[in-house]
A and B are shown apart, each in its own frame.
Chain A
Amino acid sequence: MGLIHEIDYGTPASKAEKQVTLTVDGFTVTVPEGTSIMRASMEAGIQIPKLCATDMVDAFGSCRLCLVEIEGRAGTPSSCTTPVAPGMVVKTQTNRLKDIRRGVMELYISDHPLDCLTCAANGDCELQDMAGAVGLRDVRYGYEGDNHVFAKDRADGAENFRWMAKDESNPYFTYDPSKCIVCSRCVRACEEVQGTFALTIEGRGFESRVSPGMHQLFLDSECVSCGACVQACPTATLTEKSVIEIGQPEHSVVTTCAYCGVGCSFKAEMRGDELVRMVPWKDGKANRGHSCVKGRFAYGYATHKERILNPMVREKITDPWREVTWDEAFAHVAKEFRRIQYQYGKGSIGGITSSRCTNEETYLVQKLIRQGFGNNNVDTCARVCHSPTGYGLGQTYGTSAGTQDFDSVEESDVIMVIGANPSAAHPVFASRMKKRIRQGAKLIVLDPRRTESVTSVHAKADYHLALKPGTNVAVVTALAHVIVTEGLFDEAFIRERCDWSEFEDWAAFVADPQHSPEAVEKISGVPAETIRGAARLYATGGNGAIYYGLGVTEHSQGSTTVMAIANLAMATGNIGRRGVGVNPLRGQNNVQGSCDMGSFPHELPGYRHISGDAVRDIYEALWGVKLDNEPGLRIPNMLDAAVEGTFKGIYIQGEDILQSDPDTHHVSAGLAAMECVVVHDLFLNETANYAHVFLPGSTFLEKDGTFTNAERRINRVRKVMAPKNGLADWEVTQKLAQAMGLSWNYTHPSQVMDEIAMTTPSFQKVSYDLLDEMGSVQWPCNEKAPEGTPIMHVGGFVRGKGKFIRTEYVATDEKTGPRFPLLLTTGRILSQYNVGAQTRRTDNVVWHAEDVLEIHPHDAEQRGVRDGDWVRLKSRAGETTLRAEITDRVSPGVVYTTFHHPDTQANVVTTDFSDWATNCPEYKVTAVQVSPSNGPSEWQEEYEELSKRSRRIEGHMEAAE
Chain B
Amino acid sequence: MTMQPASTDIAARAATVVAERRNLEGPLLPILHELQAEFGHVPQEALPVIAEALNLSKAEVHGVVTFYHDFRREPAGRHVIKLCRAEACQSMGGDAVAARLQELLGIGFHETAKDGSVTLDPVYCLGLCACAPAALVDGEPVGRLDEEALQAIAAEVRA
Point out residues on A near B: beta carbons under 8 Å.
196-204, 211-215, 221-222, 455, 457-458, 460
Chain B residues within 8 Å of A200, by CB: 57, 59-60, 62-63
Q: In the complex the two chains form, what is the Cα distance from A221 to B59 in whole Å?
A: 8
Q: Which residues of B in the span 58-96 have a Cβ within 8 Å of any Cβ on A?
A: 58-63, 66-67, 69
Chain B residues within 8 Å of A457, by CB: 55-57, 60
Q: In the complex the two chains form, what is the Cα distance from A125 to B69 in whole Å?
A: 34
In the complex, which of the residues B56, B57, B59, B67 has the most CB atoms of chain A within 10 Å of its own CB atom? B59
Bin the interface of chain B by size: 10 to 19
Check B62–A211 contact: CB distance below 8 A. Answer: yes
List the B residue with the shortest CB-CB distance to A455.
B55
Q: In the complex where A200-B60, A204-B67 touch, is A214 in contact with B44 (Cβ < 8 A)?
A: yes
Could you list 17 further interchain pairs (A-B, Cβ under 8 angstroms) beyond the known A200-B62, A211-B63, A460-B55? Answer: A197-B60, A198-B57, A198-B59, A200-B57, A200-B59, A200-B63, A202-B62, A203-B66, A204-B67, A213-B58, A213-B59, A214-B61, A222-B57, A222-B58, A457-B56, A457-B60, A458-B56
Check B57–A196 contact: CB distance below 8 A. Answer: yes
Tell me the smallest distance from the CB of A673 to a CB of chain B, in Å: 50
Q: In the complex the two chains form, what is the Cα distance from A215 to B61 in whole Å?
A: 11
List the A residue with the shortest CB-CB distance to B52.
A455
Tell me the smallest distance from the CB of A423 to a CB of chain B, in Å: 14
In the complex, which of the residues A199, A203, A204, A457 has the most CB atoms of chain B within 10 Å of its own CB atom? A457
Question: Taking chain B's interface residues, is the majority helix, strand, or loop, or is none over half, making it mixed?
Answer: helix
List the B residue with the shortest CB-CB distance to A203.
B66
Check A212–B67 contact: CB distance below 8 A. Answer: no
Check B63–A201 contact: CB distance below 8 A. Answer: yes
Q: In the complex the two chains form, what is the Cα distance from A794 to B14 in whole Å?
A: 53
Chain A residues within 8 Å of B66, by CB: 202-204, 211, 215
List the B residue with the shortest CB-CB distance to A223.
B59
Chain A residues within 8 Å of B60, by CB: 197, 200, 457
The 5 closest A-B pairs by CB, nearest first: A200-B63, A197-B57, A214-B62, A200-B59, A202-B66
Check B67–A197 contact: CB distance below 8 A. Answer: no
Tell me the smallest distance from the CB of A861 to a CB of chain B, in Å: 14
Chain B residues within 8 Å of A455, by CB: 55
Question: Taking chain A's interface residues, is the majority helix, strand, or loop, or is none over half, making it mixed?
Answer: loop
Check B57–A202 contact: CB distance below 8 A. Answer: no
Q: In the complex the two chains form, what is the Cα distance from A215 to B62 in whole Å?
A: 8
Chain B residues within 8 Å of A196, by CB: 57
Q: In the complex the two chains form, what is the Cα distance from A202 to B47 in whole Å?
A: 14
Q: Which of these, A199, A204, A458, A460, contacts B59 with CB under 8 Å?
A: A199
Q: Which of these, A197, A202, A212, contacts B56 with CB under 8 Å?
A: A197
List the A residue with the shortest CB-CB distance to B62.
A214
Chain A residues within 8 Å of B69, by CB: 204
List the A residue with the shortest CB-CB distance to B51.
A457
Q: In the complex the two chains form, what is the Cα distance from A204 to B64 in whole Å?
A: 10
What are 28 A-B residue pairs whose CB atoms fall within 8 Å in the complex? A196-B57, A197-B56, A197-B57, A197-B60, A198-B57, A198-B59, A200-B62, A200-B63, A201-B63, A202-B63, A202-B67, A203-B66, A204-B66, A204-B69, A211-B59, A212-B59, A213-B57, A213-B58, A213-B59, A214-B44, A214-B47, A214-B58, A214-B61, A222-B59, A457-B55, A457-B56, A457-B57, A457-B60
Tell me the smallest distance from the CB of A194 to a CB of chain B, in Å: 11
Q: In the complex the two chains form, what is the Cα distance from A213 to B55 in whole Å?
A: 14
Chain A residues within 8 Å of B59, by CB: 197-200, 211-214, 221-222
List the A residue with the shortest CB-CB distance to B47.
A214
Tell me the smallest distance from the CB of B15 to a CB of chain A, in Å: 15
Tell me the smallest distance from the CB of A224 to a CB of chain B, in Å: 11
Chain B residues within 8 Å of A212, by CB: 59
Q: Which residues of B in the span 36-59 have a Cβ within 8 Å of any Cβ on A?
A: 44, 47, 55-59
Chain A residues within 8 Å of B56, by CB: 197, 457-458
